[in-house]
Amino acid sequence: MSSLDQRALPKPSSVIDMNVFNTTSDNKGCRKLLTGLMGSALLAGAFYSSASMAQSSPVMDAMAAIYESVPDSTPVAVTQDNNTKVISVGQQSNGTEVSMRGSEGPRMVSGVAAGTRDTDAVNLGQTKAMFNDVNDKIRRTERKADQGTAAAIAAANLPQAVLPGEKVVGVGGGTWSGESGYAVGVSAATDSGKWLINGSVIGSSGGDVGGGVG
């Protein structure tokens, strides 16, 4: 201890006699707990103030440096409603953002319940369920499109009447991207051959049915 200002530190046989300061000017209003500074001579739970330690003391300088390294912040109350059991953080403050970021970067928040209101946070399970639902809807839409394409291919392959006065009944089939379709049609040409009338009914492997005339 020869390197320290003996006037600023108590003798090893004594305990620092000090009370918790209550002014904002006393070391910037920050309570500092001293433990182990003087070995057994300083009891855990003792507090210091500028009233009992010289401001020029190396110990005070070190503590001031520690205090300066801590960002300015405002205490925020955490409360729990006895009836609803809802826990509120900073309910009376005007903060607009809750940050979980630490010195090493973002932190993971665990134990998040599924949100039910528009302003609730969602958990990973809800996010996965949403993506699965969207993917399922996209796949069903793709299958519907594939089935419709297969039915269109079937209708395009129906035989047609081409000769004057000819009447034809035909069946067609088609497939596309693993889906299938079918078509049944009738076509007839007028005796003059100037007009051609046809109609068809189509269906797909998905159970959808449609039809058309022309």
User: Do 156 and 173 form a contact (C-beta atoms < 8 A)?
Assistant: no
Quick one: tokens of 75? 């205490």
CA distance 186 to 197: 8
Is the CA virtual torsion 98, 103, 113, 89 positive or negative?
negative
Give burial (CB, 10 Å; 0-12/13-18/19+) of 1.
exposed
Rg (CA), the chain: 42
Q: Look up the CATH architecture of domain 146-213.
A: 2-Layer Sandwich (3.30)
Residue 124 CA: distances (Å) to CA of 37, 44, 87, 108, 115: 47, 44, 22, 11, 11
pLDDT score of 163: 92
Buried b / exposed e along 129-138 (16+ C-beta atoms within 10 A):
eeeeeeeeee
Question: What is the reported pLDDT for 79?
Answer: 80
Span 79-137, pLDDT tens digits? 888 888 888 777 777 778 778 888 888 888 888 889 999 989 899 999 999 999 999 99
CB of 206 within 8 A of CB of 144?
A: yes
Quote the DSSP letter at residue 91.
Answer: T
Residues of the chain with pLDDT under 50: 1-43, 54
Instruction: Give the start-to-end residue ranges of the domains of the chain.
Output: 1-89, 146-213
Per DSSP, the residues of 148-179 read: HHHHHHHHHTS----STT-EEEEEEEEEETTE
Q: How many CB atoms lie within 10 A of CB 155?
A: 20
Tell me the C-alpha distance between 113 and 15, whole Å. 50
pLDDT score for 204? 95
Report the alpha-carbon angle 21-23-24, nearest 5.
120
pLDDT of residue 88: 79
Q: Which two tokens stand for residue 194?
A: 């100037």
Q: What pLDDT is attached to residue 23?
A: 40
pLDDT of residue 66: 72
pLDDT recorded at residue 96? 80
State the Cα–Cα distance between residues 35 and 60, nearest whole angstrom: 14
Nearest to 56 by CA among 105, 6, 115: 6
